[in-house]
C-alpha cells in the first residue's frame, strides 16, 4: 500500500473526485480547507491579499492505483495553464 497526500487548489475537487470515481478509488479522506504557499500554486491564505483555498486529500492505494494517480498528476502539472497540485508519497508501515 502507498500512502498519498495530495495538496491542491480547492478548485480541482470536482476533477479529482471524477478521477477517483473513474479509477475505482472509493476510500479517501478530504480536508476541505487548507491555506499555505508553494511553488506552482502560489500563495493562498483565503484573505483579501492572498485569496483562494487549498484542500488536502489523503488516500491509501495499491501500487498500481498509486502509479495511475502519480502519472495523472504528473501530466496535469505539465500543462501551461493549471491550478496548483502536489502529490506526496509517504512510507506506510501499517494499516489497522
Nearest in space to 24 (alpha carbons), one of 83, 64, 80, 58: 64
pTM above 0.85, yes or no: yes
43 DSSP β-pair partners: 37
What pLDDT is recorded for position 95?
86
For the chain, the domains span 2-90
In the CATH hierarchy, which fold is given to the domain comprising 2-90? Answer: Alpha-Beta Plaits (3.30.70)
Interatomic CA distance for residues 37 and 49, integer angstroms? 13
- Using a 10 angstrom Cβ sphere, with 0-12 exposed, 13-18 middle and 19 or more buried, the burial of residue 59 is buried
Q: Which residues of the chain have pLDDT under 70?
A: none
What's the confidence (pLDDT) of residue 91?
84
Amino acid at each position: 500500500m502507498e500512502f498519498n497526500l495530495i495538496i491542491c487548489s480547492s478548485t480541482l475537487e470536482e476533477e479529482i473526485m471524477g478521477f477517483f470515481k473513474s479509477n475505482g478509488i472509493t476510500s479517501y479522506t478530504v480536508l476541505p480547507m487548507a491555506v499555505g504557499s508553494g511553488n506552482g500554486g502560489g500563495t493562498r491564505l483565503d484573505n483579501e491579499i492572498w485569496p483562494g483555498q487549498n484542500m488536502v486529500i489523503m488516500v491509501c492505494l495499491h501500487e498500481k492505483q498509486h502509479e495511475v494517480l502519480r502519472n495523472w498528476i504528473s501530466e496535469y502539472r505539465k500543462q501551461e495553464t493549471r491550478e496548483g497540485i502536489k502529490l506526496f508519497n509517504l512510507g506506510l508501515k501499517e494499516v489497522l
